[in-house]
Amino acid sequence: MIDRLLSPLRSAWESLLERLIFLPPFPESIDTLALFSLLLVVGLLIGEWLHAHAGWPKVIGYVLAGTVFGPALLGWISIEALAQARPMADAALGLLMMEVGRRLDLSWLVRNPELLRSTLSDIVLSFALIFSFALLLVGLSPAWAAATAAVTMASAPAVVLLTIEESKAQGQVTERIILHTALGSAASFIAFAIVLGIIHAEHSEDWLNALAHPLWVAIGALLIAWGAAQLALLIARLLPKRSLAQVFVLVASALLAVGIARMLAVPVFLTLFLMGILLAVRDKHQTLRYTQLPEGHWLLAIILFVIVGASLPWQDFTWLTGLQALGLLVVRAIAKIGALAWSGGSLPLPKRILVGVGIQPLSATAVFMAYEIASLYPEIGRSALALPLFAAAIMELAGPALCRLALRKSGETETAAATQGGIA
């Protein structure tokens, strides 16, 4: 469609080329910065419009923008443009994952062991129920059923963090949503690494990859994360706490980790999540503890969700897969809400259920994880992972709304607190 629109311009340009020697050849692809700007403006406009007029979380608008303008519908964002924009998406997801890692306070589990029980039951129940559903009801092979469970078992850290920031939520439900999301993500990354080996074992006769690939991912991510965290702490120690210079050091170290992870084919989300945890754990002198990401990370987040929206394979949609994805989401919701209702650590039952609702989002990390696994054996992977991708596609729209609903019902958002007290 774009080509058809551009063809008269291309002809005119080429006819001018002979006489105007300074003209470059007709640009065959959009410049990266221009693409960045377009994605940003389109996402921003739709996100802000939906937020202002329908009261929807902005993230939904960003994803819708990507879906509408992406390859599946209008095709204005081409597959090549998506590949070109991938480093920006990696940077955005990386920064958000680092932030979730930094917020993971493991000492809370020691002070409140009931939380450990509830998070373990969330992890075990989510994996077991989704695996059983994919294996027994959908009929996937054990390896791909495990991959489906690994990809979809956890909540979406980026969505959760942005929804919390957007609604300025504070309180126990909010804190526990962050904690369970972070711990669930950690568990899903471990499952993801193991699943990589299982997939290799199922599809390749060479056992070396089945062992080496999970190790490469896990140890590679850990080493890059450790190096980048050490570097950030080392330099930041020379600077005043909470200074702008420290913010730059934090962002630069994170981008360095993103770049190295990309170079070595180690998942960015895992590397930056580990970097966040290491930054929190190894920061004995509170060097970077109080340094926050700049407001500008919202810019990158918009790009991330536009790209995620454009990456969703709506063109492969069938009613059967759609129904199966809905079934997976119902099973997943039962697992999460059930686990939180069973044990929630010194929080009344209604609020525990709200925590269960708040951790429903499924988004960028799942999509990226699914593509990472699918790329191992593209001929099988793409169709085998249609189920988690469609589940993520549905949750891209429903997830932020559910998360915000939970925050509002708990009375922890700014607007809710101004009008009413919330449930006790």
Partner 1 sequence: MSQPLGEFKHSEALTLGVELELQLVSKRDFDLTRAATDLIDSLKYDERYGEIKLEITESMIEISTLPQSTVDGIASDLAGLRETLRTHCARHNIAVCGGGTHPFHRWPERRICPGERFDNLYQRYGYLAKQFTVFGQHVHVGCTSADDAIWLTQALGVYVPAFIALSAASPFVDGVDTFFQSARLNAVSAFPLSGQCPPLANWAEFVRHFSFLQSCGIASGIKDLYWDVRPKPEFGTVEIRVCDTPLTIEQASSLAALAQSLSRWLLRTRPELHTGLQAHVARYNKFQACRYGMAAMISDPVALCQRPLRESLLELLETLSEDARELGCGHWLKALLPIVNADAGDASWLRARHNLHHNLNDVVRETTERLMAPTSNKSWEHS
The conformational region for residue 413 under phi > 0 = left, psi -120 to 50 = alpha, else beta, is beta
* From candidates 75, 171, 227, 294, binder to partner 1 by CB under 8 A: 171
Nearer to partner 1, 115 or 134 (CB): 115
Give the amino acid at 143: A
Applying CB under 8 A, among 242, 316, 326, 378 the residue interacting with partner 1 is 242
Q: Does 295 bind partner 1 (CB under 8 A)?
A: no
Backbone phi and psi for residue 290, each to the nearest 5 degrees, phi listed first? -100, 0
> Stretches 17-25, 129-137, 196-204, 343-351: which one binds partner 1 (CB under 8 A)?
343-351
> In this complex, which beta carbon is closest to partner 1, that of residue 10 or of residue 289?
289
What are the helix and strand counts (H, E) for the chain? Answer: 19, 0
Range 96-135, binding partner 1 (CB under 8 A): 103, 105, 108, 111-112
For 154, 178, 183, 344, the CA distances from 120, given in Å and listed in that order, are 12, 15, 9, 11
Cβ at position 317, least distance to partner 1 in Å:
41
- Within positions 250 to 289, which residues make up the interface with partner 1, using CB under 8 A? 286, 289
Q: Indicate which single residue of 175, 202, 294, 327 sits in contact with partner 1 (rule: CB under 8 A).
A: 175
Taken in order 343, 156, 314, 381, is the CA torsion positive or negative? negative
Residues ≥6 apart with Cβ < 8 Å to 205: none
**By rule CB under 8 A, what count of residues binds partner 1?**
29
Would you count residue 170 as binding partner 1 (CB under 8 A)? yes
How far is CA 98 from its chain centroid? Answer: 11
Distance in angstroms (rounded) separating the CA atoms of residues 92 and 214: 24
- Find the shortest distance in angstroms from Cβ 163 to partner 1: 17
Distance between start and end Cα atoms, the chain: 55
Told to check if 87 binds partner 1 by CB under 8 A, we report: no
Q: Is position 421 an interface residue for partner 1 (rule: CB under 8 A)?
A: yes
Dist CA 163 CA 407 (whole Å): 9
Does 356 contact partner 1 by CB under 8 A? Answer: no
Closer residue to partner 1, CB minimum distance, 14 or 414: 414
DSSP-based three-state secondary structure for 293: coil
Of these, 284, 290, 295, 379, which contacts partner 1 (CB under 8 A)? 290
Return the sign of the alpha-carbon dihedral for residues 92, 97, 100, 102.
negative
CB-wise, 96 or 387, nearer to partner 1?
96
Contact residues for partner 1 (CB under 8 A)?
103, 105, 108, 111-112, 168, 170-172, 175, 240-242, 286, 289-290, 345-348, 411-412, 414, 417-418, 420-422, 424
